[in-house]
C-alpha cells in the first residue's frame, strides 16, 4: 500500500536525522584526530538495491559520492553471499572505495522482521597502513601500503581476528587503526539500530515506498534545476603545479535535456608519483561542484546524483588505472571543482565563484627512519589546514575554510598532544585574498616546530605554489602558497619528502582565493572593514583598491 505524501516526507526527514546520528557516532568513537577533530568521514543509508537514500551532513564529497557507487559494487561482489544479522563487509581498494588505501569503507546489511531491507555504510581515514604511507613517493599502489580486497570484517557479529591482526601488523599506528575500525563498526550499527527503530515506530515492513519517493522526488527536482541551465557545451583548462612537471586538467561540460555530461579528455597523462586520481574520486568532487550550483538545496542521494555523468580517457591523471600510485589523489582530485567552474562561469557568470585554494594543505608527519627501532618515538599523523575560498559573485570568499573537501582544520591542542611538535603561530595572511569587488578568502600561516629531541619527516603534496587561484571578471589572483624552513629562506617545493630537524621550525603558508570584479569597484566601507580587521594592508588598500580614508 502506497503511503501518503505527507507521511513519506516526515519519514524522509526522520531518515536524514538517523543518518546524521550515524555519522556523529563515528566522530565520537574515532581515535584518529583527522576523524574525530576534522570530520574526514562519510555515513549513508541505502535501500535493498544499493541506492543511497540519505547521507550525513558531516563528511567529505570524496567519501560520500564514492560511497554512493561503492555500495553497488560491493553488493555485486557479494551477490551469492547469504547475509546474516551482524555481518559487515570491508574494503579499502582505491578503485572501489575512496581513491586511496587510507580510507576504509564498511557496509552492513540491515535486517528488519527477518529480511534485509537496506544497508548502512561508513567511510573514514585511517592513520597509517604501512608502505610509503601518506606521501606521493610511491611508484605504484603496492608501495603505498596494505590493500584489502572486498571481504567480511564481521561475520554474524564476530569480528575477523586474523584480518585485524594483519592490519595492525602493517601499521605504524596499530592502536589508532584498531580504534577507528571499531568506530566505523559502531557507526554502521548505530545507523542500523536507528533505522529499524524508525521502521517499527511507523509500522513499516520495508523501505520500498520511501526509497521510491526520495529518489523520484530528488531526480525530478534536479532535472528541473538542470532545465534552468541553457543547453550547450563549454570547455575549460586548468594549469596546476604537478610534481615532476606542470599538469593540464581539461574539461568539457555538456548540458542537454537528458542531463549533464562532464568529460576530462585532453587532461595530462598519469604521473610516476602518487598524485594520480582514480576516476571515482575525480567524479565525486566534480559532481559535488556541479551540485553546489545546480540544485544545491536538493538532498544528496541516488536521485539527485543520477543526471550527472563523468567520463575520462583511461590513463589520464584523473582516470588513473591500477596499479598507479594514488596516495595523494586529493591533491588534484580537489582541484576539479575549479575546473568545472571554469566551464560553468561561461554560462552562469553570476552564480559561480572565483578559483580558490581548493586542495587541502595537509601535513602528513611521522617519525624519522632511524627512530624506527624505538617504539616510544613512533607516530604517524596527518594534519589538515586550508586556504581561502574564491570570492562569490556577491560575497567575499571564506578565509582558511575547507572547500571543496569539508575537512575541518586540525586543532592546535590536539596536535601537540599526539605528536612531537609545537605550533608556534597560526594566523590569517593579510593581503592573501585576491583583490576584487568581492575579495577572495585569506590563507593562513602556520609555524610548526619539531620537538627538541626528535626529527620529524614531512611528506608534502599541495598545489597553488606556482599557479595561484585566479580571479574572475577583473578580480585579481589570490596569493600562492609557500613552504619553507625558518633556517633557510629558499622556499620548498610543494611536493616531496622533507626532514624537519630537531628544534627546526616549518613555516607553512596556505594560498588565498581569487577575487571577483575590479578592485576599484569594492565598496569603500568594505575596504575600511578589511583594514580595521587586519585583512588588508594600508598599502594594498591605497594602491590596489584605490581607497582613501
Query: Collapsing DSSP states into helix, strand and coil, what is residue 545?
Result: coil
Cα dihedral across residues 294, 295, 301, 304: positive or negative: negative
Residue 498, pLDDT > 90, answer: yes
The last residue of a domain, from among 219, 247, 271: 219
Q: What percent of the chain has pLDDT over 70?
A: 99
**Number of domains the chain contains:** 2
Digit-coded pLDDT (tens) for 464-491: 999 999 999 999 999 999 999 999 999 9
pLDDT at 478: 98
- Taking a C-beta distance cutoff of 8 angstroms, is the pair 109, 115 a contact? no
Q: Is residue 162 a part of any domain in this protein? A: yes
Residue 1, pLDDT > 60, answer: no
Give 375's pLDDT tier (boundaries 50, 70, 90): low
> What are 124's three cell numbers?
573514514
Residue 131, pLDDT > 70, answer: yes
User: By C-alpha distance, which of 81, 80, 77, 71 is closest to 50?
Assistant: 71
Q: Is residue 207 a part of any domain in this protein? A: yes
Residue 373, pLDDT > 90, answer: no
- Taking a C-beta distance cutoff of 8 angstroms, is the pair 300, 287 a contact? no
| pLDDT, greater one: 187 or 134 | 187
Give 372's pLDDT tier (boundaries 50, 70, 90): low
Q: Is residue 319 a part of any domain in this protein? A: no
Give 450's pLDDT tier (boundaries 50, 70, 90): very high
What does DSSP assign to residue 535? Answer: S
The last residue of a domain, from among 185, 219, 253: 219
- Other beta carbons within 10 Å of 65: 27
Judge if 212 and 63 occupy the same domain. yes
Digit-coded pLDDT (tens) for 335-350: 999 999 999 999 999 9
CA distance 259 to 408: 32
What does DSSP assign to residue 248? Answer: E
pLDDT at 426: 96
Digit-coded pLDDT (tens) for 87-107: 999 999 999 999 999 999 999
Q: What percent of the chain has pLDDT over 90?
A: 92
User: By C-alpha distance, which of 424, 381, 370, 342 is closest to 172?
Assistant: 381
Q: Is residue 203 a part of any domain in this protein? A: yes
pLDDT at 19: 96
Q: Is residue 247 a part of any domain in this protein? A: no
Give the residue carrying C-alpha cell 595523494.
328
What does DSSP assign to residue 495? Answer: E
Residues 6+ positions from 114 with CB-CB distance below 8 Å? none
Q: Is residue 341 a part of any domain in this protein? A: no
Over residues 254-266, the mean pLDDT reads 97
CB hemisphere CA count around 473 (13 angstroms): 24
User: By C-alpha distance, which of 435, 433, 251 is closest to 332?
Assistant: 251
The parent domain of residue 434 ranges over 353-549
Over residues 300-322, the mean pLDDT reads 97
Over residues 412-440, the mean pLDDT reads 95
pTM to 2 decimals?
0.96
Average pLDDT, rounded, for the chain? 95
Give 371's pLDDT tier (boundaries 50, 70, 90): low
What does DSSP assign to residue 368? Answer: -
Give 445's pLDDT tier (boundaries 50, 70, 90): very high
Digit-coded pLDDT (tens) for 209-242: 999 999 999 999 999 999 999 999 999 999 999 9
Q: Is residue 308 a part of any domain in this protein? A: no
Q: Is residue 290 a part of any domain in this protein? A: no
The last residue of a domain, from among 219, 235, 250: 219
| pLDDT, greater one: 255 or 378 | 255
Amino acid at each position: 500500500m502506497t503511503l501518503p505524501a505527507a507521511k513519506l516526507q516526515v519519514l524522509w526527514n526522520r531518515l536524514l536525522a538517523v543518518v546524521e546520528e550515524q555519522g556523529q557516532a563515528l566522530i565520537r568513537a574515532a581515535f584518529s584526530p583527522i576523524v574525530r577533530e576534522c570530520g574526514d568521514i562519510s555515513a549513508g543509508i541505502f535501500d535493498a538495491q544499493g541506492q543511497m537514500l540519505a547521507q550525513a551532513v558531516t563528511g567529505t564529497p570524496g567519501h560520500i559520492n564514492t560511497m554512493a557507487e561503492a555500495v553497488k559494487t560491493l553488493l555485486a561482489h557479494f551477490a551469492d553471499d547469504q547475509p546474516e544479522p551482524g555481518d559487515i563487509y570491508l574494503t579499502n581498494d582505491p578503485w572501489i572505495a575512496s581513491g586511496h588505501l587510507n580510507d576504509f569503507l564498511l557496509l552492513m546489511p540491515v535486517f528488519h522482521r527477518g529480511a534485509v531491507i537496506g544497508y548502512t555504510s561508513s567511510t573514514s581515514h585511517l592513520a597509517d597502513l604501512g608502505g610509503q604511507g601518506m606521501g606521493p613517493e610511491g611508484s605504484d599502489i603496492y608501495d603505498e601500503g596494505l590493500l584489502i580486497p572486498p571481504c567480511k570484517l564481521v561475520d554474524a557479529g564476530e569480528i575477523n581476528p586474523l584480518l585485524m591482526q594483519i592490519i595492525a601488523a602493517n601499521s605504524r599506528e596499530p592502536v589508532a587503526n584498531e580504534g577507528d575500525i571499531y568506530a566505523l563498526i559502531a557507526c554502521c550499527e548505530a545507523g542500523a539500530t536507528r533505522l529499524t527503530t524508525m521502521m517499527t515506530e511507523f509500522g513499516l515492513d520495508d523501505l520500498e515506498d520511501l526509497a521510491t519517493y526520495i529518489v523520484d522526488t530528488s531526480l525530478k527536482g534536479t532535472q528541473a534545476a538542470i532545465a534552468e541551465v541553457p543547453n550547450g557545451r563549454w570547455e575549460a583548462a586548468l594549469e596546476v603545479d604537478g610534481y615532476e612537471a606542470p599538469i593540464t586538467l581539461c574539461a568539457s561540460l555538456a548540458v542537454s535535456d537528458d542531463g549533464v555530461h562532464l568529460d576530462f579528455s585532453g587532461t595530462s597523462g598519469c604521473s610516476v608519483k602518487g598524485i594520480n586520481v582514480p576516476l571515482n574520486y575525480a567524479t565525486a568532487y566534480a559532481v559535488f561542484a556541479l551540485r553546489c550550483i545546480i540544485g544545491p538545496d536538493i538532498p544528496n542521494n541516488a536521485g539527485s546524483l543520477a543526471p550527472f555523468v563523468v567520463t575520462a580517457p583511461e590513463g589520464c591523471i584523473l582516470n588513473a588505472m591500477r596499479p598507479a600510485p594514488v596516495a595523494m589523489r586529493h591533491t588534484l582530485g580537489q582541484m576539479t571543482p575549479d575546473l568545472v567552474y571554469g566551464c560553468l562561469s561561461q554560462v552562469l557568470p553570476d552564480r559561480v565563484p572565483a578559483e580558490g585554494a581548493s586542495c587541502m594543505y595537509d601535513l602528513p608527519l611521522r617519525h624519522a627512519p632511524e627512530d624506527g627501532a624505538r617504539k616510544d618515538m613512533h607516530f604517524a599523523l596527518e594534519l589538515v589546514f586550508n586556504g581561502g575560498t574564491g570570492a562569490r559573485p556577491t560575497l567575499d570568499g571564506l578565509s582558511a575554510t575547507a572547500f571543496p573537501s569539508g575537512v575541518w582544520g586540525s586543532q592546535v591542542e590536539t596536535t601537540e598532544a599526539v605528536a612531537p611538535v609545537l605550533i608556534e603561530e597560526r594566523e590569517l595572511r593579510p593581503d592573501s585574498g585576491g583583490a576584487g569587488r568581492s575579495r577572495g578568502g585569506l590563507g593562513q600561516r602556520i609555524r610548526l616546530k619539531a620537538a627538541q629531541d626528535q626529527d620529524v619527516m614531512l611528506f608534502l603534496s599541495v598545489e597553488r605554489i606556482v599557479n595561484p587561484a585566479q580571479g574572475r571578471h577583473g578580480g585579481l589572483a589570490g596569493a600562492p602558497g609557500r613552504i619553507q624552513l625558518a633556517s633557510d629562506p629558499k622556499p620548498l617545493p610543494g611536493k616531496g619528502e622533507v626532514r624537519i630537524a630537531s628544534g627546526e621550525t616549518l613555516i607553512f603558508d596556505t594560498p588565498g582565493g581569487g577575487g571577483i570584479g575590479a578592485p576599484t569597484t569594492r565598496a569603500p566601507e568594505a575596504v575600511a572593514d578589511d583594514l580595521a580587521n587586519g585583512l588588508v594592508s594600508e598599502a594594498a588598500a591605497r594602491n590596489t583598491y584605490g581607497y582613501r580614508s
